[in-house]
Amino acid sequence: MGVGIEVLIVDWPRVEATAPDDREDLLVDAAFGEAYSDDLYEQGWSWSTQPGEDWYGRYAFQNTFGSYKPHFWAGHRWDHMRELVEPKLREVLDPFNDALFWHALEDITGVGSGLPERPCTWDPDLLLSCPPDHVPLIAGWWRRAAPQLELLREPFAHSDAGTGGWITSFESFTCFLDDWGEVVTEAERRGWGILGLRC
């Protein structure tokens, strides 16, 4: 089956106010404990309807069925096309992608995203931990990149990433970026952080 990811935005202080031994159960219940809809993988937001559970939202990415593989393949595509991308667009998509799903920026370019290293000390098995103070910077990168995504069409077509795996078309790549843009925009609006739980 492979690795899966559940993406949540969370009210960080609410999670930190929970006893350390109870945080894992709290987050696992948020990600998996409620039947959000008839289709668990229907794209978009799911919000708890339980009283007092208004501290998190779950986001399902289009056509990923909860799998982490599209995140990996989007990073692979970006790795192979980034040198063909206009420098001004690359300078915002490099750190945006690195912060969320392509964790190779510094290894490839020698330059990091500038986000401070802050490992999450919570117990759950996380693929992504993005505290609230990182989110406005990431959302700012997205605001600069979003109007220019059409400029990625030619670099995507001419990259040498091959045709296997997920994210095999320009449209699937930009839809994937749009989904991450929706996540960071909503997290910024609420002043919340972002988590990706391994499943």
- Residue 46, classed as helix, strand or coil, is strand
Cα 52 to chain centroid, rounded:
26
Q: Contact at 8 Å (CB) between 198 and 4?
A: yes
- pLDDT recorded at residue 41: 66
What string of pLDDT tens digits covers the 199 residues of the chain?
478 899 999 999 999 999 988 998 999 888 887 644 445 667 899 998 888 889 999 999 998 888 999 999 999 999 999 999 999 999 999 999 999 999 887 888 877 778 887 767 776 688 899 999 999 999 999 999 999 999 999 999 999 876 778 899 999 999 999 999 999 999 999 999 999 999 8
- Specify whether the CB–CB gap between 41 and 65 falls below 8 A: yes
State the distance between the two ends of the chain, measured CA to CA, in whole angstroms: 10
Backbone φ and ψ for 48, nearest 5 degrees, come out as -65, 145
Total domain count for the chain?
1
Rounded Cα distance between 58 and 183, Å, is: 9
Residue 65: the pLDDT is 87
Phi first, then psi: what are they for 5, rounded to 5°? Answer: -135, 135
> From the CA atom positions of the chain, what is the Rg in Å?
17
- Both tokens assigned to 65: 């069925």
- Give the domain extent around 131: 5-198
Indicate the angle between helix axes 69-81 and 87-100, nearest 10 degrees: 150
